[in-house]
Amino acid sequence: MSRRLLFTALAIPAVAACSTISELPTDRVAETTLRFANGLPAGTVQLLSNGQTVSVAVAAVGMSPGEHGFHLHTTGKCNAPDFKSAGGHLNPGNASHGSLSPGGKHLGDMPNLTIGPNGSGSAEFALEGNATSVLDSIFDEDGTAVVVHAGPDDYRTDPAGNAGSRIACGVLERI
């Protein structure tokens, strides 16, 4: 089965389970392959839009079971081994971090990615804001990276959710 077909098979149930037909994203607007520090693939991420909103769909493989922080980072660079080149979380509104913080959350905050016992997981998350604003923030002059962290995001510790080291990274590319 091709990687794209596998991703579609994983993502469609997640999208269909949380949306009405009129809300379903109709266009893929960006994608990336997540990679571990050793260069091996760790999954795929796609940005989907219905013209009004933007969603992030992820299919991850080869990760330890459990919850992992999953964020958009401010710079489109993924230099191994630590991926610090991706900068901090994408935060165009200068909000605090996390859905549980008094002033949070910012654009780069997403729910934790849950990886099952087999080392894989998939999910789809809506980004807050209208599609034009969100895409302008993601595709600024230095781009945006998607980063998976070693541990779960606590949804409150500023600026990064205390999610631990960065274990996988990919730079979003417009389609």
Q: Two tokens at 105?
A: 């959350």
- Write 135-139 long-range contacts (CB < 8 A, 24+): 135/29, 135/47, 135/49, 135/54, 137/90, 137/92, 137/107, 138/30, 138/47, 138/54, 138/72, 138/90, 138/172, 139/30, 139/172, 139/174
Q: Two tokens at 23?
A: 């809300």
The domain limits of the chain are: 3-174
Q: What are phi and psi of 155, to 5 degrees?
A: 65, 15
Predicted confidence at residue 23, as pLDDT, reads 59
Tell me the pTM.
0.84
pLDDT digits (tens, 9 = 90+) for 31-77: 999 999 999 999 999 999 999 999 999 999 999 999 999 999 999 99
Of 46-60, 99-113, 129-143, minimum mean pLDDT range: 99-113
Query: With DSSP H G I counted as helix, E B as strand and the rest as coil, what are the percentages for the chain, rounded to 5?
Result: 15, 35, 50
Residue 24 has pLDDT above 60, yes or no: no
Predicted confidence at residue 109, as pLDDT, reads 87
Q: What percent of the chain has pLDDT over 70?
A: 81
Place domain 3-174 in its CATH homologous superfamily.
Superoxide dismutase, copper/zinc binding domain (2.60.40.200)
